[in-house]
Structure 1
Amino acid sequence: MEPKNEPITRPGPGVITAAVDIKEQDRWAGPTLQERDTQVGAISSVLPEGDINNASDVPVKRDIPHPTTNLETLIHVLKGNVGTGLLAMPEAFMNAGLWVGFAGIPIMGVICIHCMQMLLRSSKELCKRAGKSALSYEETAEAAFRLGPEGCRKWANTVRYIITTFLIITQVGFCCVYAVFIPQNLMQAIECMLPSGSSISVYGYMGIIILPILLICYIPNLKYLAPVSLMAGAVQIIGITICFYYMLRDLPHVQEELPAFAGFSTLPLYFGSAIYAFEGIGLVLPLENKMKTPQAFGGWTGVLNTAMVIVVCFYAGVGFFGYLRYGSFVQGSITLNLPPSEPLSQTVKILMALAVYMTYPLQMYVPYEVLRPTVTRRFTTHKGKMVAEYIFRSCMVFLTFVLAAAIPNIGLFISLVGAVSSSTLALIFPPIVEIVTFWPNTGKYNWRIIKGALICLFGLVGFVAGTITSVESIIDFFMNGQQQPSYEC
């Protein structure tokens, strides 16, 4: 008996719906999750005797209208993780200490990459069990609980709603940081290039760049964003190379003035900034779901691991040498430490602002895909759906700029977003999803439970401590009337 090919029954109007646009008319290629129990007998009839996990041997065909190649996906992964978080690494090292910060990046990198692989492995397993072609992050969590142990099934809708909410908060938070980063770098570069300077404030530059960001965010398909990501990657490589030139120029020897450990009081800020830097957890499944050869995404030498190893090396290098070069004077973005009066420095600030600008729509892709069905399903005509989608995209962009104007401090914004959302999605939920997915197979000595519990505990401690410290720092920022560091051309 073949599984029915019909859309999934959604959990209800109160739950935000989402799916990667594999097909506009048919986003789900298999049976509904609610029909899972009724199809177990049918699947088991064509499988060897044993656990229902044998259903993973059933092949699932994926039909994607605009698939991405391995190289395009690699570029998307790099661009999704190498952004403002990379440039904030020197300040993160200042909050941790030179050597603690340097040792912490590969440790957190290994944990985050392993969590990405756990999520990917769980999604593939659940796709095969449910007969689906692809599942997004929130759908994977819902499927794990709905197809998992009896006691977990009642929590399926709640888990989906929670993860969807954090996905939106995380990706919108990234875009808010971008909305702070771009105008600050443009302002510092342009004002020093003009003979008489300029009286435009950072808020004025925010208003100027809204229209260009709106235009690039109107690109509807991830496939068409690949050339934009390629250009952004090339520009970013040039910009990072110039940043390294300034960081390594007149580099002091490692001295005792830079502490190896900065203390426990600022360590949560380091955690928030570092976990923010590994910002690609929300893009893992959408990117894998859009690949022409998804089997090349995972594995030891797959696209994901290859890209993330490069990312970890970048983070460690920029953080170490940036903090070593500028010490306690380091700012929320290393580009703001570069000499404002030098033409090369002005060029790199414009280049990095341009690269971040071209990355903005990739980070906003997830919120668009999550919320778009909820907005467009209220309209029946194609024109109505199209107009509603463009209005929705515009409102999302304006929202990020309003929030950015409220907290115009890159470092504090990065720490807060990382502690609140990134830790939840990158560290807490992937182990839970894996345990529920493969239950009762917990491994020898229950190693899967022990490993998941330790990662979740690490994420929870970082979440609580990082959020409290970030909020306190933001309150202190406003109460004491602190301003962004001044500069002279």
Structure 2
Amino acid sequence: MSAENYKLEELEKLKNKYDSEPESNDPSSNYDPHEHRNVPHPTTNTETLIHMLKGCLGTGILAMPEAFKIAGLANGFIFTILIGILCTYGLHILVQAQYVLCKRLRVPLLTYPESMKAALLSGPSAFHKFADMSPYLVDVFLIVYQLGICCVYVIFVAVNVKKLVDEYLPEPMALELYTLILLAPFILILSVPNLKWLAPFSFISNLLTFGSFGIILYYVFSDLPSVEDHHLVGTLYGFPLFFGTTLFALEAVGVVIALENNMKTPKSFGGYFGVLNIAMFFITLLYVGMGFLGYWRYGEETRSSITLNLGNKDLLAKLVLGLNSVAIFISYGLQGFVPVDIMWNTYLFKRLSHLKHAWICEYTLRAVLVIVTVLLGLFIPLLGLFISLFGAFCLSALGIAFPAIMDICVKWPDQLGYKYWILIKDVLLILLGVLGLLSGSYSAIAEIVRKLSIGDYS
């Protein structure tokens, strides 16, 4: 089979998965994928914004003071804003590339993995041979990243609940026991079947999160030391850890794509004043503020989550631990929705749908994924380093490199700008993503190995 015939056949397979419109030879065809979507439980703009805030305002923001400790006040301030802009831009070019591909194929919707495959088939001929494996690669990164988030959430909730409850017990319980006790509640929250039903939980979680932020800021401003006692620039060795932590905190690519795909009015997602920009503006602002002020207040004593710096002796500190534990627990359902959706709808449903009680298999999958994240939390309870590792390894690819590759392919060969400036820009983004993946993963893994070897779980 010739390369061109292979390309056409594979694109036809993608089209046939959906109710595609007949192709038109007119390049200005007015087919709009957004108008042909049929989502069972679509979310409104407000619900999507709530989910986006909840998807990004998780444990990452509470880890930002430690990220600033690694990077320094000046570096942390500047590079958090730059990484926020980078994340937002990466999401924009990803969503735009998906829209263009849907329009070309005349289908209402393509998932991230399907979009990657269609993009590679549309790009330079040298990319075509990678098209078949690309959906599996994207799915692996998405699943590993989302399960990594869930694992971080398990560790976070267990650590905070232990700190909250231990003082009321005759003897402190082991962290492992708290983690196992939380297994059943996490299975229940991941059993909520769709994003529409999760929206009220996300709204409640956002209220709890913002309430806890108010109390944290009260503690921060109550006794601010001199800013001169803090370093402005961190070490080169520590910067990849800062990059991974900040990327983890700001970039929720799996949730964002799932949200855009489930919107009632997806046209409202992009644009200068769309849901994405509004959400990312406030998210970046909150992250810069929490990181800067948290490190300014606690300095070198800053821990992997700022909640652990508050103590648990007075009522407000206990309230923060409780509010954040409940908020992150609820967020587990939103983050866990993505790997469940990928594994069930992409790989398992077509093989098991003939069974009389196929839904039992789906909920078994949900329970198994919870068990996996709980087991990881039991064996490697290093919250801050887990955040850095998953941020650097997965999001450098999913949020930076892959969207840039798709952008090149979608605009190939005659829409790459004056003197190929779009191609040059995208190649630089790809290199940045690869550099962030390699350096951030290496630094995080090296620190995890070092801490495990000396038994330091702080």
Which residue matches 1:226?
199
Q: Is 2:61 the counterpart of 1:86? A: yes
Q: Partner residue of 1:29?
A: 19
Q: How does 1:20-419 map to 2 (within 5 A)?
A: 28-30=18-20, 42-44=23-25, 47=26, 52=27, 54-55=28-29, 57-60=30-33, 61-192=36-167, 194=168, 196-255=169-228, 257-373=229-345, 374-381=347-354, 383-419=356-392
Tell me the residue number matched to 1:444. 418
Give unmatched runs, 5+ long, in structure 1.
1-6, 12-25, 32-38, 485-489
Give the Å deviation of 1:8.
8.7
Query: Percent identity, aligned pairs only?
Result: 37
Query: In 2 relative to 1, CA 346–128 (structure 1 residues): closer, same or farther, beyond 3 Å?
Result: same
Moved more, 452-461 or 116-125: 452-461
Q: Deviations over 1:263-282 (max 9, x none)?
A: 11211110110111123111
- Structure 2 unmatched runs, 5+: 1-9
Per the alignment, in what secondary structure is the counterpart of residue 192 of structure 2?
A: coil
Q: Give the AA of the match of 1:432.
A: I
SS of match in other structure, 2:237: coil
**Per the alignment, do residues 375 and 198 of structure 1 end up closer, same or farther by CA in structure 2, a change over 3 Å counting?**
farther
1:487 is matched with none
> Structure 1: which amino acid aligns with 2:257?
L
Task: Give the direction of change, closer, same or farther, for the CA distance of 1:380–1:432 in structure 2 (3 Å limit).
Answer: closer
CA displacement 1:178-224 (0-9 Å, x = unmatched):
010001001101123x1x55431111111111111111111111110
- TM-superposed CA distance for 1:146, in Å, is 2.2
Q: Give the conservation status (yes or no) of the 8 Å contact 1:435–1:452.
A: yes
Q: 1:448 to 1:400 in 2, by over 3 A?
A: same
**Cα separation, 2, equivalents of 1:302 and 1:269:** 31
Tell me the TM-score normalized by structure 1: 0.88
What is the match of residue 458 of structure 1? 432
Question: In structure 1, how many angstroms separate the alpha carbons of the residues matched to 2:12 and 2:451?
Answer: 47
1:138 deviates by 1.1
What is the rounded CA distance, in whole Å, between the counterparts of 1:199 and 1:43 in structure 2? 69
User: What one-letter code is carried by the residue in structure 1 that aligns with 2:375?
Assistant: V
Alignment match, 2:6: none
Query: Which SS does the other structure have where 2:230 is aligned?
Result: coil
AA at the equivalent of 2:46: L
- Separation of aligned partners in 2, 1:152 and 1:456: 15
Task: Report the Cα offset of residue 381 of structure 1.
Answer: 4.1
Letter paired with 2:360: V
Q: How far apart in 2 are the matches of 1:280 and 1:375?
A: 24
Q: Structure 2: which amino acid aligns with 1:140?
A: S
Deviation track 1:95-126 (CA, whole Å, cap 9, x = no partner) reads 11111011111101101100000001001111
Partner Cα distance (1:308, 1:81) in 2: 9
Q: Whose helix proportion is higher, 1 or 2?
A: 2
Residues in 2 aligned to 1:66 and 1:361: alpha-carbon distance in whole angstroms = 17
The one-character-per-residue Cα deviations of 1:41-92 (angstroms, maximum 9, x if unpaired) are x510xx2xxxx4x34x323312222111000000011111110000000000
Report the Cα offset of residue 293 of structure 1: 0.7
Partners of 1:336 and 1:284 lie apart in 2 by 29
Look up the equivalent residue of 1:82 and give its one-letter code.
Answer: L
Q: Provide closer, same or farther for how the CA distance between residues 208 and 139 of structure 1 changes in structure 2, counting only shifts above 3 A.
A: same
Q: 1:470 is paired with a residue of what secondary structure?
A: helix
TM-score between the two structures when normalised by the length of structure 2: 0.93
Offset at residue 131 of structure 1 (A) = 1.1
1:154 to partner: Cα distance:
2.6
Distance in 2 (alpha carbons) for counterparts of 1:393 and 1:318? 33
Say which is worse superposed, 139-148 or 305-314, in terms of deviation: 139-148
Q: Distance in 1 between matches of 2:259 and 2:216?
A: 29
Task: Compute the displacement of 1:438 (Å).
Answer: 1.3
Aligned to 1:14: none
Task: Measure, in 2, the Cα distance between the counterparts of 1:139 and 1:354.
Answer: 35
Shift of 1:456: 1.7
Alpha-carbon shift at residue 285 of structure 1 (Å): 2.1
Instruction: Confirm or deny: 8 A CA contact 2:73 2:231 kept in the other structure.
Output: yes
Letter in structure 2 aligned against 1:463: L
Contact kept, 8 Å, 1:135 with 1:285, in 2: the verdict is no
